[in-house]
Amino acid sequence: MNFLTLLKLGWRNIWRSKLRSLVVIFSIIIGVWGGLLILGIMYGLNNQRMDNAINGYIGNVQIHNENFLDDYAIKHVINNIDKYENFLSKDSRVKAYSKRIVLSGMLSNSNGSSGIQVLGVNPSSEKNVTKIYSKLIEGEYFKSKKNNTILVGKKIADKLNLKLKSKVVVTFQDEKNNLVSLLFRVEGIFRSGNSMFDESNVYVKNQSIRDNLVNFIGFHEMPIVIYENIKDISLDLTDALKQDLKKIDNTNIIQSWDDIAVELAYANKMLSAVLYFFMLIVISGLSFGIINTMLMAVLERKRELGMLMCIGMTRLKIFLMISIETLFLALIALPFGLIFSYFMINYYSVNGIDLSIVAAGLENFGIGTMLHLKLPLNYYYEIGLMIIVITIISSVFPSIRALKINPVEASKNI
């Protein structure tokens, strides 16, 4: 009996009990589809969280004075900023950059006060670096010709009962540690998707700060974004740019997004291991169903298997026949599960899932209300291979059980 004959026998045997085989096939399809869908949600959540952080307010790389991050003192401005601008304007990796004045202060009105970080920006250049302009839920993005306008987060607006055109006072220390209070009018309210950021950051025009601090020169922060490549987040390009910028001036500190948002970087590194471990649990659960089904099939065919042994079918061929039957079940189900998963994940990657019902929780996690699923193609191939390997392993126990059949005793019952 050659291998082709074993394949034919295996194929025919799985359809001898159609209902049982279809139940196993359907369970594998559901398991693969459900597992990959969960992976797409988990990967999409992580990718969206990183995108909100990097394109929302961090950028791929940031430049500060080496002393600025210690106390956020206004005097610690970036040294030799012209050299950085000259380098960045010529570098093909750089998509855009912006220059910010960053102040720690207090935002107050008649309803109370809140500690904040004031980001003084040039509206046009900041628009190329972050997406805060697209996150406005009320008002406009610095369209007023007046300099004393401010954009506040939804969290602060709710806390202090701020509306459009509400007046607020921003208080901070100048270069001589004297308190300075500036009056602003709310021009826009934004919701970035990260409630912690919205509660502690406001945007103003940097010119409004310079108009009131005539002796102040310089900037505290330069966020830089790079062009995206095949990968979602190019760590290689980011690190290369970071190393090149370090050579310009050693009195400044260059940080990539994973240096600034350490928890995001750690989650990104751990993601692959978590996804594979989760899928391994799902597939392992399916394997018990496959083992149970094939074991039942073997026990029902004791006489048949005993007769095959009596007429000269070797134990190796019996082992291979049971293994082939088990493998056929997975090979039939796997394409359907992968295809269904692929089209559903791609559909929701474009249209998204509206999770506004749990918006507060998602914003605390740094994610917006629309969840866009995502799963790279390599996961489909690797998960498919995992299922085939687990199926082959699952066939071992029923096959061994078949080999324990005594052909003489089995043939007596024919």
Per-residue pLDDT reduced to its tens digit, 382-395: 889 988 998 888 88
Mean pLDDT rounded to a whole number for the chain: 85
Q: Are residues 251 and 365 in the same domain?
A: no
Separation CA 216–CA 233 (nearest Å): 36
Tell which of 228, 260, 292 closes a domain.
260
Structure tokens at 8: 């034919």
Count the neighbouring beta carbons within 10 Å of the beta carbon of residue 187. Answer: 24
Helix, strand, coil % over all residues of the chain, rounded to 5: 60, 20, 25
Q: What is the number of domains present in the chain?
A: 2
Give the residue-averaged pLDDT of 188-215.
87
Tell which of 213, 237, 260 closes a domain.
260
Q: How far is CA 313 from CA 77, 291, 317, 387, in A?
A: 84, 23, 7, 29
For 19, counting Cβ atoms within 10 Å of its Cβ (0-12 exposed, 13-18 middle, 19+ buried), the class is exposed
At 230 the pLDDT is: 35
At 221 the pLDDT is: 93
Tell which of 227, 260, 293 closes a domain.
260
- Is the confidence at residue 1, as pLDDT, over 60? no
Q: Read off the pLDDT band of 43 (50, 70, 90).
A: confident
Q: Are residues 90 and 16 in the same domain?
A: no
- Can you tell me whether residue 163 is helix, strand or coil? coil
At 193 the pLDDT is: 76
Q: Read off the pLDDT band of 229 (50, 70, 90).
A: low
Q: Are residues 345 and 399 in the same domain?
A: yes
Separation CA 296–CA 290 (nearest Å): 10
Specify which residues 182 forms β-bridges with. 170
Q: Are residues 232 and 250 in the same domain?
A: yes
Give me the percent of the chain exceeding a pLDDT of 90.
30
Q: Are residues 237 and 360 in the same domain?
A: no
Q: Read off the pLDDT band of 231 (50, 70, 90).
A: very low
- Domain range holding 368? 3-53+265-412
This prediction's pTM: 0.74
Q: How far is CA 44 from CA 33, 135, 233, 362, 371, in A?
A: 16, 20, 13, 13, 7
Of the two residues 141 and 369, the one the predictor is more confident about is 141
- Of 24-28, 178-182, 230-234, 388-392, least confident by mean pLDDT is 230-234
Q: Are residues 26 and 88 in the same domain?
A: no
Give me the percent of the chain exceeding a pLDDT of 70.
92
Q: Read off the pLDDT band of 363 (50, 70, 90).
A: low
Q: Are residues 99 and 9 in the same domain?
A: no
Of 246, 226, 239, 253, nearest in space to 63 by CA: 253
Q: Read off the pLDDT band of 310 (50, 70, 90).
A: confident
